[in-house]
Amino acid sequence: MGKLHESITDELKTWIEAQHVFFVASAPLTADGHVNVSPKGGDVFRVLSSAQVGYVDYTGSGNETSAHIHENGRITLMFCAFDGAPRILRLQGTGRTILPSDDEWETVSQHFDISNPGTRQIILADITRVYTACGFSVPLMDFVADRDTLTRWAETKGADGIEEYQCEKNVTSVDGLPTPLGLKVN
């Protein structure tokens, strides 16, 4: 039922762009570290080539993905069809974090809408494995709308409040691994 693809095809790119949610998984190297899986939504994901993807990552209560890929590079992105024909797509590879203070921010950010005041960083992933599976047991669900809660929260906090929040909550992972943001702050 599953199929390994050589790269992200045009058909898969079109399908990815039609999905409203995706999941990001990462983990530290230590066996007792916490595996992280984060849902993402909104117009943040881009297929940049047949072997590279990226997404805008907003300020949140943690920064696990950034810490994990800084430590070991491993990342998996998963998409599920919640409407239409069943399908699961996993993109596996190595990731890296691009911060607004990085030299390549201006070039990379041109591919994304970075206007949300909660924008924290861009996660890029070089994809080494593209795998589709049946998704037969994934439920059918109707998309209602993207939430605007994070945008309203970020607007209320303002730039200084977001920076303070990031310094408090986003400089290390739950396991104490440093994030690139934390390395810039310290």
Q: Which domains does the chain have, with CATH numbers?
A: 3-185 (2.30.110.10)
Flag whether pLDDT at 25 surpasses 80: yes
pTM: 0.96
For the segment 25-39, the average pLDDT, to the nearest whole number, is 97
The pLDDT assigned to 81 comes to 97
The pLDDT assigned to 106 comes to 97
* 96 vs 138: CA distance, rounded Å: 30
The 10s digit of each residue's pLDDT in 90-105 is 999 999 999 999 999 9
Task: Find, among 11, 3, 137, the residue nearest to 82 by Cα.
Answer: 137
**pLDDT, the chain, mean:** 96
Flag whether pLDDT at 38 surpasses 80: yes
Flag whether pLDDT at 155 surpasses 80: yes
For the segment 79-91, the average pLDDT, to the nearest whole number, is 97
Phi, psi of 71 (to 5 degrees): -75, -45
Flag whether pLDDT at 152 surpasses 70: yes
